[in-house]
Amino acid sequence: MELYEPYGIPVASKAEKESFDRANTKAMIFTRMLKDSEKVVFFGGAGVSTESGIPDFRSATGVYSQKYGNRSPEQIVSRSFFDSFPREFYSFYREKMLFLDAKPNAAHLKLAELEKAGKDITIVTQNIDGLHQKAGSSKVIELHGSVMRNRCMKCGQEYNVNFVANDRNPVPECSLCGGKIKPDVVLYEESLDEKNIEAAVTAISECDMLIVAGTSLVVYPAAGFIRYFRGAHSVIINLSQSGHDQFMDLAVHEKVGEFLSQIDVSECVGKKKKSAE
């Protein structure tokens, strides 16, 4: 079996190699990488949900470009701020971080479609919006938690996102004990869940293909997890260029939803399990 360089994709014949040379598009290369990969990890960030109308943090129109008095958004979404100024926290959180009407976009839907078609695909997301699950993906590791889950800090009673959004108290209160409710979101100064870290690192270190998308890769420790990748194919899909592009096999500077829309799922599946080869 020959390899199509520089992407390391197996090609069956000289004719196929020549057809690649003629129609060498990024979507085509991406499709072949997917087909060649048994285990795939999609590592995503806020940019995966901008096409659903949820602003990211660091783009020009992102949340961080706006000013909130003399405070930065990083300060507001920190644990010490939540503990000291819960009203101000919730006022920001309800306005800037809850998007109850957001719907999965073409990126979320294509990933769910790949799973449905039989691709072993794990999503490791920094997002807290729950849109991958809404789209139908089942293997989702939420490194920074989810706005969908909320818990009373006193008695542990769980609440859904609608309760938190609509509770008339400035700080949502537990209807059983009156305790303060906290979203199951990892705030600055808080640690990531150990089980999630382990699951993400294991998935990334064992996969054949890593797709990094819609993330500025500046929030640690999450961004550091992609260093565990040892597989054959790595792709970054991000609107803006980054210092990581040079370390990936393929760099795509397009909207992730628009790029993934070009992918025909039926052409990405079909690699036999190694044990059956």
Residues 133-162 that bind ligand CNA (CB under 6 A): 144
Question: Of the candidates 165, 219, 244, 250, which one interacts with ligand CNA according to CB under 6 A?
Answer: 219
Number of H helices and E strands in the chain, helices first, is 10, 11
The total of other beta-carbon atoms located within 10 Å of residue 269's CB is: 12
Region of 8-16, 33-41, 53-61, 114-122 interacting with ligand CNA (CB under 6 A):
53-61
Region of 11-19, 28-36, 195-203, 216-224 interacting with ligand CNA (CB under 6 A):
216-224
Residues 63-122 that bind ligand CNA (CB under 6 A): none
How wide is the angle at C-alpha 202 spanned by C-alphas 198 and 203, nearest 5°?
120
- In this structure, what token pair is assigned to residue 22? 């003629």
37 scored as a contact of ligand CNA (CB under 6 A): no
CB-CB contact of 114 with 265 (8 Å): yes
Phi then psi for residue 135, to 5 deg, are -75, -20
Show the site string, 223-242: x = touches ligand CNA by CB under 6 A, - = not. Answer: --------------xxxx--
CA-based R_g, the chain, Å:
21
25 scored as a contact of ligand CNA (CB under 6 A): no
Q: What is the β-pairing status of strands 145-152 and 181-185?
A: antiparallel
Which DSSP helix (H) or strand (E) runs through 251?
Answer: strand 250-252
184 scored as a contact of ligand CNA (CB under 6 A): no
Question: Of the candidates 36, 56, 113, 167, which one interacts with ligand CNA according to CB under 6 A?
Answer: 56
CB-CB contact of 20 with 28 (8 Å): yes
Question: Of the candidates 229, 234, 255, 265, which one interacts with ligand CNA according to CB under 6 A?
Answer: 255
Least distance between ligand CNA and beta carbon 15 (Å): 34
Greatest alpha-carbon span in the chain: 71
Least distance between ligand CNA and beta carbon 127 (Å): 3
Binding site for ligand CNA (CB under 6 A): 45-47, 49-51, 54, 56-59, 62, 126-129, 144, 214-216, 218-219, 237-240, 255-256
